[in-house]
Amino acid sequence: MPYIEMPKLSDTMTEGTVVKWRKAVGEPVGIGDVIAEIETDKAVMELEAFDGGTLQEIYVSEGGKAPIGEKLALLLAAGEDAPQKDHRAAKTQQVNPLAVSPSRRSPAPAKAEKATAPVSRGRVKASPLAKKIAGAKSVDLALIQGSGPGGRIVARDVESAPVTPAAIPTAAATIPVLPPGLGDRRIPLTGMRKIIAERLLASKTQIPHFYLNIEVDAGELVRLRAHLNEHLEKSGQGKLTFNDFILKAVVAAVTKVPRVNASFAGDAVIEYSDIHLSVAVAVEDGLVTPVIRQAQKKSLREISEAVKDLATRARSKKLKPEEYQGGTLTVSNLGSYGIDGFSAVINPPQAVILSIGAIVKKPVLNAQDQIVPGHRLAIGLSADHRVVDGAIGAQYLAELRGLLENPAALLL
């Protein structure tokens, strides 16, 4: 039998995961050689070859699962012909006949596969002129979406692309990790986790972050909201959350300091006229940032309704792509999780993200230097220093503070 199949490695095993291929396609395999590492429900075990030959094809890629007996690879002895290709009864989760690159043979158990952000593609299709311009401008073609025939990258695509730094770290872990032992769990990345990994790594490595923090007197906000909600409840209307007020204030402050609503575009800063507000929403195994479009045109009530709708649909994974793309500024609120204050990672290609903490009751000094009970709200601003300088960030936070400490203006 020239096929290598998923073996039964434990009594309770029904399926296994190929953690790593130790042999690459085209490599000779001797009897007893370890050809792969298989993870069962209990442990990672080595798969040894019972026959010698050459590894001809791999059907289950690293990270892919297969039930017991499923064909994992094709091993041909010298002079043996490949059988008819009828084996791709796709019972496995990933049945990719991969082209295994030599880099997979590296001893590090972490995946060394080259990942390209944001969308991993195989061969880059680009015109000769596009390649030359990209070379001259240090633009990474792998990051560009082509607009030419068949999605080919043409000159205009490169000319309008932002300049990328020479070395782009890949999202794949490049630092060796401890191999999972008995009782450890290996959790393959979902599509969402991969995107989070890629985007946030790109953000932290490519965007020069700096952080500003303020503490706002939220006393008036607490009083106003309680007062309003009392009335809203009586009239049967939905209540307003602190977050609704904060979002409205964030947007209103942007209209005063529009520079924060911007992106760094390589040879220019693009300042957006519309405020498309991304709101971070925690979902199962990740987070999404649905977008409130043209938030500057929306009232407090409209923002409240929009965010409620988007968050609900985000949690049930019912958002359309256009509903979580194209934001110009993000708010991340961990107040309901009891976090006092934090500094979020910028959501690229935006220039700033606001980190909202909990409204905390604590002793404060009043105007007469007396210790009195007060409500305090910690707000952090993480900014891309290429777009926003410290003074601009401070100016923005001062506007935001003014609005939150006099929240009645937000009702207008």
Partner 1 sequence: MNYDLIVIGGGPAGYVGAIRAAQLGKRVACVEKERAGGTCLNWGCIPTKSLLRNAELFHLMKHRGGEFGFSFENLRFDWSKIIKRSRDIADKNAAGIEYLFKKNKVEYVRGEASLTEAGAVTVNSADGKTRELEAAKILIATGVVSRPLSGFPFNGRTVIGSREAMVLEKQPKDIIIIGAGAIGVEFAYFFNAFGTKVTLLEMMPNILPLEDTEVSQTLEKAFAKQGINVLAGTKVVKAEADASGVRISVEGKKSESLEAEVCLVAIGVQPLLPAGLSLQLTPRNFIQTTDRYQTSVAGVFAAGDIIGPPLLAHTASYEAIQAVEGMFTDHVPKRINAFPSCTYCQPQVASVGLTERAAREQGLKLRIGKFPFSASGKARAAGEVDGFVKLLFGEPYGELLGAHIIGAEATEMIAELGLALTLEATHEDIEASIHAHPTLSEAVHEATGQAFGTAIHL
Which residues form the interface with partner 1 (CB under 8 A)? 127-130, 132-133, 136, 148-149, 154-155
Gap between the Cα atoms of 95 and 23, Å rounded = 18
Please, what is the minimum distance in Å from the beta carbon of residue 145 to partner 1? 13
Looking at beta carbons only, is 88 or 132 nearer to partner 1? 132
Indicate which residues carry an active-site annotation.
385, 389
Gap between the Cα atoms of 112 and 302, Å rounded = 47
Gap between the Cα atoms of 406 and 224, Å rounded = 10
Please, what is the minimum distance in Å from the beta carbon of residue 265 to partner 1? 22
DSSP for 119-187? S--SSPPB-HHHHHHHHHHT--GGG----SGGG-B-HHHHHTSPP--SS---SS--S--PPP-TT----
Looking at beta carbons only, is 158 or 251 nearer to partner 1? 158
Gap between the Cα atoms of 261 and 397, Å rounded = 13
Give the per-residue SS3 of 212-279: EEEEEECHHHHHHHHHHHHHHHHCCCCCCCHHHHHHHHHHHHHHHCHHHCEEECCCCEEECCCCCEEE
Give the CB-side neighbour count of residue 81, counting CA atoms within 13 A: 3
Can you say whether residue 174 is alpha, beta or left, with left for phi > 0 and alpha for psi between -120 and 50 degrees?
A: alpha
| Order of strands across the sheet that contains 34-39 | 44-48, 34-39, 15-21, 65-67
Please, what is the minimum distance in Å from the beta carbon of residue 267 to partner 1? 17
DSSP for 12-56? T-SEEEEEEESS-TT-EE-TT-EEEEEE-SS-EEEEEPSS-EEEE
Looking at beta carbons only, is 156 or 297 nearer to partner 1? 156
Please, what is the minimum distance in Å from the beta carbon of residue 127 to partner 1? 3
Please, what is the minimum distance in Å from the beta carbon of residue 96 to partner 1? 27
Please, what is the minimum distance in Å from the beta carbon of residue 349 to partner 1? 24
Looking at beta carbons only, is 87 or 152 nearer to partner 1? 152
Looking at beta carbons only, is 149 or 338 nearer to partner 1? 149
